[in-house]
A and B are shown apart, each in its own frame.
Chain A
Amino acid sequence: EVQLVESGGGLVQPGGSLRLSCAASGFTFRNYWMSWVRQAPRKGPELVALINLDGIPTYYLDSVRGRFTISRDNAQNFLFLEMNSLGAEDTAVYYCAKDLTWQQFDYWGRGTLVTVSS
């Protein structure tokens, strides 16, 4: 059974940092592109970052480029999102998602909530 379990979210002050993790199991992790998708309150989801099989970041949302870094550990089956200089606009539930094909995601985690507030 495919499982994606996010962790690392929480309450952080503006300007702070967080590192999100996603533990993957039930599939050959190294064979799939992976993504972080977020959904802010009362808004539609948006793709935050995308990483290819070899661990090369392929896409960042304009508003996070330079502040967020996506990475993966194919040996331990983990996906990460390092988030710096966080602002209120980054408040959202962050989901880890497995790419089926052409950024259509066949498995998602339950998400981890990131709240940026003083």
Chain B
Amino acid sequence: QSALTQPASVSGSPGQSITLSCTGTSSDIGSYNFVSWYQHHPGKAPKLMIYDVSNRPSGVSYRFSGSKSGNTASLTISGLQADDEADYYCTSFTTSAYVVFGGGTKLTVL
């Protein structure tokens, strides 16, 4: 069982906006703004999409945005595209283990 809780699957149609959730505790997401999101197409290297809750690395589409409220972080993808179909993982810094991961959400673009 992963430390952060993510829904196993989410789906959406092209052009739609979807939001992926990531629930932690007051020991991780609730205490630190070091929350990141990764996109992983199987067989490829995971890609950092969001860091520090809401910052986008250079080269990441503006369609990806992050936020946090209390112990829950969220990743919103707007204008869904076929290539967005992938597994998405959230992480948070935590003093007990440096970083904890979510179990991942499989995003399907219908």
Contacts of B91 in A (CB 8 A): 103-104
Instruction: List the B side residues contacting A105 at CB < 8 Å.
Output: 36, 38, 46, 48
Collect the chain A residues with CB atoms within 8 Å of residue B62's CB.
Answer: none
Number of interface residues of B (CB under 8 A): 25
Given A50-B98, A95-B46, A100-B51, answer yes or no on A106-B34 (Cβ-Cβ < 8 Å): no
Q: Report A-chain residues with C-beta under 8 Å of the C-beta of B48.
A: 100, 104-107
Contact status B57-A59, CB under 8 Å: no
A110-B89 in contact (CB<8A): no
Total A-B contacts with CB atoms under 8 angstroms apart: 66
**CB-CB < 8 A to A58: which residues of B?**
98
Max count, chain A CB within 10 A of own CB: residue among B34, B99, B102: B99
A-B contact pairs, 27 of them (CB 8 A): A44-B2, A44-B101, A44-B102, A45-B46, A45-B89, A45-B101, A47-B97, A47-B99, A58-B98, A100-B57, A101-B51, A102-B34, A102-B93, A103-B34, A103-B91, A103-B93, A103-B98, A104-B36, A104-B52, A104-B91, A105-B36, A106-B51, A106-B57, A108-B45, A108-B47, A110-B43, A110-B45
B residues at A contact (CB < 8 Å): 2, 4, 32, 34, 36, 38, 43-48, 51-52, 57, 89, 91, 93, 97-99, 101-104
